């Protein structure tokens, strides 16, 4: 990895992003695991995202990473890197039958 392949991120910034992602990943996994019995995870997910300010916290984590990337490679490069993201509602519908 060359120096141009790295970004500068303060330890407190990295820990903050890690804490947010850890909480969201573990919480959503727990919610989805409860749905393994066939119940819908929808109400629990909605409750979690509303009561725990999850959208705002994820946006905050994205902002920390975007600032670090902008400093190192520039806003245009970051924008280019995000061009091929496949957002859920833009993706092909998921067929539960696998066909």
pLDDT of residue 91: 60
CB atoms within 10 A of CB 40: 9
Per-residue pLDDT of the chain (99 residues; tens, 9 = 90+): 344 688 888 899 999 999 999 999 999 999 998 887 788 899 999 999 999 999 999 999 999 999 999 988 899 999 998 888 888 777 665 555 554
- Nearest CA to 60 among 99, 21, 86, 88? 21
Taken as a whole, the chain contains a residue count of 99
- Nearest CA to 58 among 22, 9, 87? 22
- Nearest CA to 12 among 48, 57, 64, 78? 64
Rounded Cα–Cα distance for residues 25 and 19 (Å) = 10
């Amino acid at each position: 990895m060359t120096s141009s392949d790295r970004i500068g991120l303060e330890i407190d910034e990295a820990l903050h992003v890690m804490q947010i992602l850890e909480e969201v990943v573990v919480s959503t996994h727990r919610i989805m695991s409860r749905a393994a019995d066939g119940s819908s995870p929808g109400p629990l997910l909605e409750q979690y995202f509303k009561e725990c300010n999850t959208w705002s916290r994820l946006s905050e984590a994205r902002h920390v990473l975007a600032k670090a990337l902008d400093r190192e490679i520039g806003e245009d490069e970051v924008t280019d890197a995000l061009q091929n993201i496949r957002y859920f509602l833009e993706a092909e519908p998921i067929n539960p039958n696998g066909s």
